Amino acid sequence: MVARFFVALILATAGLVAQAQAHGGVSINEGQCIMKIGPDTMNFTGYQPLKSRDQFCDDIPDVGPTIVVLDAVQPELRDMSLEIRVLRNVDQANDNDNLEQNTETYVAPKKYKTGTLNFEYNFPKKGKFIGLVKARNDDGSKEYVSRFPFSVGETAGRDLTAALFGAAVVAVGFGMWLRKSFAKKASASQG
């Protein structure tokens, strides 16, 4: 019974962690960060070369110079103009509310025939942001938008919370096992 409880708890925790990892249009699939844009997808990778050699998928680990690389998976996106805008997330009801005022950085529309576009930005402060990637064909009859919220410099607190939660689950499990173990020994010595 206790074992079933812990298996259920671990599966529920894994589900919550996976849900927390997915941000809007960006998710992890087979070790790759995938950004959904309309019916198409782009691979998403971020780097902070002055801080670490690690790449990240969604949340940016720290403030400072950051490189973001987007690779179009489907050829359709290579024939469309792509633009990127990073907005400060100020709990705006609509991304177009105070668009220019909330824009942190902007990459104007351009076709990327190789399918790869990258941009660099030096994030000066921690906070919450919204990434917008738009793809538009030449005549404007098709427009796809990918919107994904992310944070900068706030991953350490979340990682610590997850680690503490995991440690608490292990401690409770060990305590229950220990209690059950002593109860069996006590009943064996009395019998």
- Domain with 70 in it: what CATH number? 2.60.40.1220
Residues 166-185, mean pLDDT to the nearest whole number: 69
Which of 11-25, 31-45, 47-61, 172-186 is predicted with the least confidence, judged by mean pLDDT?
A: 11-25
Its domain, for residue 113, covers 23-156
182 belongs to a structural domain: no
189 belongs to a structural domain: no
* pLDDT surpassing 80 at residue 176: no
Which of 16-25, 130-139, 155-164 is predicted with the least confidence, judged by mean pLDDT?
A: 16-25
111 belongs to a structural domain: yes
What pLDDT does residue 57 have? 79
Contacts of 145 (CB under 8 A, 6+ apart): 37, 38, 132, 133, 134, 135
Name the pTM for this structure: 0.66
140 belongs to a structural domain: yes
75 belongs to a structural domain: yes
67 belongs to a structural domain: yes
What pLDDT does residue 40 have? 95
* pLDDT surpassing 90 at residue 82: yes
Model confidence at 132, in pLDDT bands (50, 70, 90)?
Answer: very high
Model confidence at 15, in pLDDT bands (50, 70, 90)?
Answer: very low
Half-sphere exposure of 166 (CA within 13 A, CB side): 10
130 belongs to a structural domain: yes
* pLDDT surpassing 50 at residue 23: no
Give start and end residues of each alpha helix (H) in 62-118. Answer: 99-102
Model confidence at 180, in pLDDT bands (50, 70, 90)?
Answer: confident
What pLDDT does residue 163 have? 53
Question: In angstroms, how far is CA 82 from the centroid of its own chain?
Answer: 21
Residues 88-116, mean pLDDT to the nearest whole number: 94
Burial class (CB in 10 A: 0-12, 13-18, 19+), 26: buried
Q: Rounded distance, CA 88 to CA 95, Å?
A: 10
175 belongs to a structural domain: no
Domains: count for the chain: 1
Mean pLDDT of the chain: 80
What pLDDT does residue 71 have? 95
Whose CA is closest to 57, among 26, 93, 97?
Answer: 26
